[in-house]
Chain A
Amino acid sequence: TQLLEQSPQFLSIQEGENLTVYCNSSSVFSSLQWYRQEPGEGPVLLVTVVTGGEVKKLKRLTFQFGDARKDSSLHITAAQPGDTGLYLCAGNFYSGAGSYQLTFGKGTKLSVIP
């Protein structure tokens, strides 16, 4: 079983502050994805990181994949109320018979207070 531990579980910050969310595992993943979920909706893909050490930026969001492809982080600079939501990391792994599966972290619920 591939497990992903996400921290913190909850995060409440003031508008303009910076924050980092962590996603850790003892397993190696072929790629790792970050999703954002709003209440009452399905998760929406933000980014995929594939190569160990890879860094991707999406406006004020910076995603990093660990060198060993076992962990990842999401850093938000100058958080805005619109960043509020549930952030999920998901590791992609080979499950056999030519198929891949995602295993999800339990999520980080972010609240940005104006």
Chain B
Amino acid sequence: DAGITQSPRYKITETGRQVTLMCHQTWSHSYMFWYRQDLGHGLRLIYYSAAADITDKGEVPDGYVVSRSKTENFPLTLESATRSQTSVYFCASSVFGSGSYNEQFFGPGTRLTVL
């Protein structure tokens, strides 16, 4: 079934470890986004990508790395996890063009706990 999927759905790791969160979409949307959602802060943009091999920073990029070698995949890597990166992470995709206004379609989220 078409859509946007994230894996894993839950992850517990330790401080200092590298963690990669996966995101896959089947719509061939050009734009993809990574957000984190925290109580008191709402959804904040980490990184986004306009197309394969084109990425840019969002509001809170420090400590994160992204890549996009294929249109359908947009992995997010925490190079050395910290407790402050404990959060729920959402991937989203959107299509731009005539009649489109950056309407975003979200994945189910990954709940990450850093001990």
Interface of A toward B, CB cutoff 8 Å = 1, 30-31, 33, 40-45, 48, 50, 88, 90, 92, 97-107
Contact = CB atoms under 8 A, between A and B. Distances in A.
What class of interface size applies to chain B in its complex with A?
20 to 34
The 5 closest A-B pairs by CB, nearest first: A42-B106, A106-B42, A31-B101, A104-B43, A100-B102
Given A40-B109, A42-B107, A88 B101 contact: no
Contacts, number: 60
A41 B56 contact: no
Given A101-B58, A102-B45, A33 B50 contact: no
A7 to B, nearest CB: 13
B45 A101 contact: yes
Contact of B92 (A42, A92, A100, A105): A42
B42 A104 contact: yes
Contacts of B42: 88, 104-107
